[in-house]
Structures are given as C-alpha cells and as structure tokens.
Chains A and B, each alone.
Chain A
C-alpha cells in the first residue's frame, strides 16, 4: 500500500467511524428531548426513564463523536496539508461556525446530563433542545465544507493560487443546500430506525413492555418521517450532482456513453475495460428523467472525461445501489407503519412488522456509509473537484500505513466497547418492577456517584 492510498484509507476509515457518532449526535438529542417533553406533559414515569436512558446513550456516543471529530479536524492537516494550505482561507469559515455550534452543544449537554437535579425542569428541557439544535447545526456546517470540495466557488485562480476569496460565496456553493438537507434527514432516519429496531427486537419477546413500546413509537415517528422526506432531498441531490459533477453522476449510474434519453440502471456490473455495464435492469429514459426532469435530456457519460479523471466506477455504482436500496427499505417500513396508524390509530405491533423493523435497523447507517462512499469516492481523483488532485494534497510524511493501522485498531476497539455498553446500559429492559417504579429506578442509578462524594 503506497502512502497516498494509506492516507486515503485513514481518512475514509476515520470518517466512516465518526459519521455514525455524528449522525446519532444529531438525532439522539431530539429523541431524548421528545421523551422528556412527553414526560413533563403526561407525567408518565416511563417517559422519564426513556429520556434518562437515551441521555445515557447520547452521552456515550457524543463523547466518542467529539474525540473522533477532533481527530478529523487535525487529520485535514496531518494527511492533506497542501489542501488545507490552499483551501483553509476559503472554507475555514464553516468550520469556525461549526466550532461554536459544537461549543454550545457540549456546554448544554453537560447541563443536560448532569443537571437533572440542579436546574428547573423547563430549563433542563430547554438545554436538551439547544443540544438537539446545535447538533444539527454542527453537522450542517461540516457538510457545507464538504459540499464546497464538490462544487468549489468563491475564489479565482491566479498563478495557481486562489485570489479574490469570498468565503460567503464559498459557503453558499451549489451543492450546499442539497447535501446538507440530504445528510440531516439521513441522520434522523438512520438514528430513528436504529433505535426503533433495537426496541422492536426487545418487543418481540416482551410484547406488552410499555418502555419499549413508547421508545419504538417516538423513534419510528422521527425516523419514518425523515425516511419519507428523503427521496425529495435525494432528487435535489441527484440533479445538483448532474449539473455540478457529471463524472460522479456517470460513475454512480455506470453511464459510460454520453447519450440522450439515458436509462436508469438497477444493479448491474460495470466493466470499466469494455466501458459497458452488464446484467443491469434498465428503465428506459429513467436517468434523464430523474437527473434533469426531462426524459430526453442528454446525460454526460464517462466517455466525455479523460480516463485518468474517472472515479472508481464499480465502487461508486455499487455504493449508490446500496444506498438507494437501504433508503427504499426504510421508506417501505415507514409507509407500513403510517398505514397501520392511519387504519387503527396505533402503530402496528404484529410479529412481521417488528421483524421488518429489526431488519431495517442497520439500513440507515448502511445508507449513510454508502452515500458518503458515493460522495467521496465519486469525487476522485480530485480533492477539490476540477481544481486540485488528491495526490497533490497528500503529506510528504512517509510510513502512513502505521497511523492508518493504529487508528483502525483503536476504532475497532472503541466500536466494540460502545456497542456492548449501549446494549447493557441503554437498550436493556428496565430492571425490577418496571414502569410503575421507573422514577425510583432512575434515582437508584444516580446514587452511587453521590455516595462516594
């Protein structure tokens, strides 16, 4: 493995790890605030227990997200110093704003997690709401910076250096709206379905457990609503990619030839050497229709680009299929739930619906990972689309395989611990007499920390 590939692998692995925590960090506070709000309205102890459990989960995930996010902010320079030297002045702005959003998030999360007894109930709920809001904002700012790498604007180039820099124009780049919308909805959908799936799994054995029923209802409402809106933002994204990054669109659809009335391909194996995609189900004119809202529109194929400017077509195409398939699964389950609710004023709780939820639990996270693969691998060989190649940006530091392997081992270890902790501390059914005594159980858990003090 050469150093460039090692650097790319380390960046990809760091992002793939962090994105899960970042997405949950956006959506989990919303779930916990909804549960607490319902508790304040209904005074049902089960909601308080739920808010406390989800707060615990948020605490664990936020901490790992915060430190792995710190790693990424340094890695921008550690791995891609030439990129940062070139682009820092142009896209540092969204990162600065993200810094403040992150500050707000961390401050009010501290108040939320440790302030149950120290601040008034309404102030506590408000602190949670601020965490939810600033979490979403941090994500949006970071994605804006990424969107700029896909559609770099807000500067001119003179003698190979950026001049006339306009950071506001850079932030309002053509990909910013579609990418931020798509990612924010993805975070709610993925987290909602993951949480719903975990509680559905518990409900299969313990159908009447109120704790899991309430949890499922909140998580599925948030996740399902996001999943149902996601195709609209997906459409916006596809059209933006078609205009801004035709090579990426061609790769994700495995469209080798430039043609009018291009078909939409489902599945298929792209053969890069022969420049054709075999075994795909083709929907005539589908791609032209989706990408340009015109069945006869001309779609630029990979043949319009020199061979050394093609992204890795099989990976991008496969990742795109995986993302769409996962999104479709979530949408189908969300529709099933919505239909059930419309028919009976209650969420379905039948065996098959719970099974479907368990099946769909990882779908959102898979879609996020696959979607970022499309975005990032699809931009290659560029780090700044059309401006700077990834190979030009990499650090001269030798032996990059070592940090790549080190962080991989570290993150695998952390992943295992987090999964184990979440199952033991957050997802398990409340012990003892459930629900009626939910409040006491919550207090018992608080006790040990104070006994020692």
Chain B
C-alpha cells in the first residue's frame, strides 16, 4: 500500500493534468481567437466560442481542485508557494477574472457591435497572459529558489519567478495550450476549410512547442538544477524522453495525415508526459529544497478523509463529465440533425 501523502500528491498532479488538458485548451482557444485571420476569421471565432462555451466553467474547477488538495493535504507547501509567488499568482488571478468575465459578457451582450469586439479582445488577451503566468508559477516552484522560513522569504518576492527559466516555462505553457486547442478544434467542425485552418495552426504551434521545450530544458541547467538532474540522469529519464518524443512526432504525423482523432490522443499524451516528467524530476519535493511531500503532509486523519472524499467525488464527477462531453462533444453525429 502506498503512503497516503503520495496518493494525495498523485491526485494533485492528476488534477493539474486535467486542468492542462481541458482548461488549458480553453485558454488556447482564446489565443486562436486573437489570431483569427483570413476569410474565415469570423467562423473561426464562432467555432471557438461554441467549443468553449458549455465546458469552460467545469474545466476551470480542476484548478480549484489542485489548490484545495494542496492546502488541505500539504498546508505548509501552500503557505510557502502563496507567500513567495504572491505577485505572479495575483496577476494570474486578474487574468482568470478577466478571461472568464469577458467571455461571458461577450456571449450575453448584444451581438455584432463594437462592444462585442471589445469583450473579445479582453477575453483573448487574458487567455494569453494567464497561461504564461501559470507557467511562470510552476517554473518558480520548480526552480528551487523558493525559501520559506518562519514566515519570511529570504529570497524575496521577485527573484524566484522573474528569471529566464520560469519565464521560458511560461511561454512553453502558452504554446502547449495553443497547440492542444488547435488540435482539438479540428474535431469540433465538419467544415473542412476550418479544419485546415486549425490543422495549420496546430502544426505551427507544435513546432513552437518543440523549440520552447528545448529552451526550457537548456535553461533548467542553471534555472532549476534539481529538475534538470532528474530529467537527465534518472533511470526513467530516457524512456520518458523517448515516450514524449514519440507522442510529439506521432501528433505531427497524425496532423499531416489528417487523422485528427489520433492527433488529439497524441497531443494529450505529450502534455501529460511533460507534466508527469516534471513531477517525477522534482520528486520527492513539492517546493525544492525545503519542502517534501512527506514533510508538508497533513496528518493521516486528514489525508484519509481527503482521499475518501476524492474517491467519492470521482465517482460522481467522471460520469457527470462524461455526460457533459457526450452532450456537447459527442462526435459530429449530434451535429447532423442541426446542420
């Protein structure tokens, strides 16, 4: 039997993975809203709005779940992260507020006027800034420069995140989300021209992802030495890089062949492997070098209840999510009656 705190930490990474795969793609949709170009710009925007509308709020809750598991299961780690990364987290929140509100205002305000474009602009710009800040936050956590002693942060409130490595992770996160969104969007329409638009965007974003992945890896040498060591020297390092590379190449190949269903699976696998690779590289630390999964863990009584609640919640949650996605994303069969 695994220790409780390890299962709780695993549940946190699983939630973060769902947030990246689902919520991340919603941000990516905002990116493509801003870059909607060409004769089908309006159709692109409409498709994005239709794809995000019914699901973004549910997808957003994965982030809440990450935070809740963190502060219930690992309260000291939450305190350290929230203190040292006060500035990027505050900016992240402003982005979250603006993205969600502007998207909703655009949906329910009068259509086709100046103001609709205004809301659209706020929505799409916030969709770009927010993932960058999320990446900066994760990069800051991975960097090993967050220190928290007796309620003081010796490294200050700026240095842990305003550095090349966290910034690179920020843009990497943005590129990944844009890539995911473009891949998913090819499956949201039967209009082949629109599919081609997003296929091209997915390929471009995929190339940017690869370039930024390399940059992040190189910068981790000085920016996040512990993670770098894990990523290059561990026993699992080679199989992980191999699996990530295979899924990335397979995603390109599937996009090339217009096998969009396969491309979606590969893109999701790629993002999942990147997140889990980071988590493994950092293991057993939550906030390196002072806070480990074990040292920050809440007492067993709390962890048992938390895991019980997560298990019960999952029983409720996954069928509900399945229903939501079947209603709105259930293949194009359901679109036939309306189209």
Contact = CB atoms under 8 A, between A and B. Distances in A.
Tell whether A pairs with B.
yes
Interface of A: 56, 59-60, 62-64, 66-71, 73-78, 81-82, 84-90, 92-93, 95-100, 102-104, 106-111, 113-115, 117-119, 163, 165-168, 395-398, 403, 406-407, 410, 414, 417, 421, 424-425, 448-450, 452-453
B64 A168 contact: no
A76 B108 contact: no
Contacts, number: 225
B320 A70 contact: no
Contacts of A410: 94, 97-98
Contacts of A67: 60, 96-97, 99-101
B68 A167 contact: no
B151 interface: yes
Contact of A107 (B83, B92, B105, B324): B324
Contact of B327 (A111, A424, A425): A111
Interface residues of B, number: 77
Contacts of A85: 75-76, 78-79
Nearest to B60: A66
B338 A96 contact: no
B328 to A, nearest CB: 7
Q: Which 10 A-B pairs have the closest CB atoms?
A: A92-B72, A88-B75, A77-B82, A89-B298, A85-B79, A452-B46, A63-B104, A81-B79, A114-B54, A100-B313
B108 A113 contact: no
- B contact patch SS: helix
Contacts of A68: 97
Contacts of B283: none
Contacts of B54: 110-111, 113-115
Contacts of A93: 72, 302, 305-306, 309
Given A76-B71, A109-B57, A63 B103 contact: yes
B78 A110 contact: no
A63 B302 contact: no
Contacts of B105: 60, 417, 421
B100 A100 contact: no
Contacts of A89: 72-73, 75, 298-299, 302
Contacts of B112: 448
B301 A110 contact: no
Contacts of B97: 67-68, 70-71, 410, 414
A160 B157 CA distance: 27
Nearest to B90: A403
Contacts of B101: 63-64, 67, 414, 417
A73 B313 CA distance: 19
Nearest to B152: A396
A398 B320 CA distance: 43
A70 B93 CA distance: 8
Contacts of A449: 46, 49-50
Nearest to A169: B301
B302 A70 contact: no
B86 interface: yes
B53 A114 contact: yes
B57 A92 contact: no
Given A70-B96, A111-B54, A397-B86, A77 B81 contact: yes
B72 A87 contact: no
Contacts of A63: 57, 100-101, 103-104
B60 A106 contact: yes
Nearest to B69: A96
Contact of A59 (B73, B83, B107): B107
A11 to B, nearest CB: 13
Contact of B64 (A70, A109, A398): A70
A102 B316 CA distance: 12
A107 B63 contact: no
Interface in B318-339: 320-321, 323-324, 327-328, 334, 338
Nearest to A93: B305
Nearest to A64: B101
A66 B97 CA distance: 9
B196 interface: no
Contact of B82 (A81, A97, A407): A81
Most buried by A among B45, B152, B298, B321: B298
B65 interface: yes
A431 B123 CA distance: 29
Contact of B71 (A60, A66, A77): A77
Contacts of B245: none
Given A85-B75, A106-B60, A167-B301, A111 B324 contact: yes
A450 B68 contact: no
B89 interface: yes
A450 B338 contact: yes
A427 B217 CA distance: 55
Contacts of A97: 309, 313
A90 B302 contact: yes
Given A70-B60, A110-B54, A450-B338, A78 B72 contact: no
Contacts of B60: 66-67, 70, 106
B96 A107 contact: no
A87 B103 CA distance: 35
Interface string B131-158: 0000000000000000000011100010
Given A108-B324, A110-B328, 17 more contacts: A63-B100, A64-B100, A66-B57, A66-B100, A70-B60, A76-B71, A81-B78, A85-B76, A88-B79, A96-B309, A102-B61, A118-B327, A165-B301, A167-B305, A398-B157, A449-B49, A452-B45
B301 A166 contact: yes
B143 to A, nearest CB: 19
B83 A397 contact: yes
A78 B89 contact: yes
B57 A81 contact: no
B317 interface: yes
Contact of A74 (B73, B89, B107, B299): B89
Interface string B262-305: 00000000000000000000000000000000000011011001
